[in-house]
């Protein structure tokens, strides 16, 4: 099995970065995998101290991988541009990539799951991406597979192939026709009530997100993403120092796979199973989003 390179994007958070790399190094395939780290430049003088702390840690030497390569940006690109540029650079050369940010802790079988899924679905262009993360999902007692499908990609530990990635229109050139089409907006929101509003914020310059554009591309081409039934990733990046997630959002808390499983049984037919989809989209419903927003405001 050909192993995909691991792309790790980091900015100024050295403590979660250490946890991310430590967990990744305990993966069964770590010693056979290339780790490629993209360190973004400081946005301000204030951030420069923390960015230098991150880079000092990286330069001490990271072991446990086949090869470690570090790219340091002289300027602050921001997460969206960093990921688009970095993934584009490596995936062009290597054909596929596993992508992590610096606040994601992985299970020991994360790389096994991701590489096996990349191998099993690489020739099926109905599949858009592989996710290492899943929110807690109740699986039917007679369900024998280790995956399910959704029409919404995850940015918390994911993977894809060159042919899917290079076809993305990052400028979203058809946005005007989309936003004036009520039926398409409604369809896009079937995988979460926040989808259209996030895309609008992106196009209006209110946020900078590669992920919502990635999800919109998936929607346009009616592709599905592979999710594990038990999460291989947990996000430890919520907090006041986080760039995009200032408060803990417990609706996404999950259980990390602690099993010794090394071979996974995949449902090879990409389709939406309602018993999974209902659980998935419930976390993105307007009622749920309002509830957790109020909780964060009240600090409860």
Q: Please list the ranges in the chain whose pLDDT falls under 50.
A: 239-247, 290-292, 294
**CATH assignment at residue 43:** 3.90.550.10
pLDDT at site 247:
46
Residue 198 inside a domain? The answer is no
The strand pair at 104-106 and 147-150 is best described as unpaired
Residue 116 inside a domain? The answer is yes
pLDDT at site 299:
55
Residue 137 inside a domain? The answer is yes
Residue 25, classed as helix, strand or coil, is: helix
DSSP-assigned states of every residue in 240-270: TT-SS--S--GGG---B--S---------S-
Residue 193 inside a domain? The answer is no
**Total domains present in the chain:** 1
Nearest alpha carbon to residue 205 among 172, 249, 165, 183: 172
User: How many CA atoms lie within 13 Å of 168's alpha carbon, on the beta-carbon side?
Assistant: 25
Output the pTM of the full model.
0.92
- Structural domain that includes position 11: 6-167+221-298
pLDDT at site 244:
44
pLDDT at site 237:
85
pLDDT at site 300:
54
Residue 209 inside a domain? The answer is no
Tens of pLDDT along 171-198?
999 999 999 999 999 999 999 989 999 9
């Amino acid at each position: 099995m050909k192993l995909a390179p691991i792309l790790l994007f980091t900015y100024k958070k050295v403590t979660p970065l250490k946890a991310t790399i430590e967990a990744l190094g305990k993966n069964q395939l770590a010693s056979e995998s290339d780790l490629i780290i993209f360190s973004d430049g400081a946005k301000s003088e204030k951030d420069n101290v923390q960015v230098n702390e991150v880079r000092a840690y990286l330069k001490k030497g990271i072991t446990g991988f086949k090869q470690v390569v570090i790219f340091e940006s002289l300027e602050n690109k921001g997460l969206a541009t960093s990921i688009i540029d970095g993934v584009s650079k490596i995936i062009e050369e290597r054909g596929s990539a596993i992508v992590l940010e610096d606040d994601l802790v992985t299970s020991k079988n994360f790389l096994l799951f991701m590489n096996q899924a990349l191998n099993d679905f690489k020739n099926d262009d109905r599949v858009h991406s592989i996710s290492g993360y899943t929110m807690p999902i109740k699986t039917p007692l007679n369900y024998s597979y280790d995956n399910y499908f959704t029409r919404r990609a995850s940015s918390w530990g994911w993977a894809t192939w060159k042919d899917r990635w290079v076809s993305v229109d990052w400028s979203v050139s058809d946005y005007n026709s989309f936003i004036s089409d009520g039926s398409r907006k409604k369809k896009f929101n079937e995988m979460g009530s926040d989808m259209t509003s996030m895309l609008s914020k992106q196009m209006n310059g209110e946020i900078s997100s590669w992920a919502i554009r990635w999800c919109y591309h998936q929607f346009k081409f009616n592709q599905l993403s592979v999710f594990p039934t038990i999460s291989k990733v947990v996000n430890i990046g919520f907090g006041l120092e986080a760039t995009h997630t200032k408060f803990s959002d417990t609706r996404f808390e999950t259980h990390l796979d602690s099993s010794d499983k090394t071979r996974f049984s995949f449902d090879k037919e990409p389709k939406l199973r309602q018993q999974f989809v209902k659980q998935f989209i419930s976390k993105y419903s307007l009622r749920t989003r309002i509830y957790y927003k109020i909780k964060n405001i009240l600090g409860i």
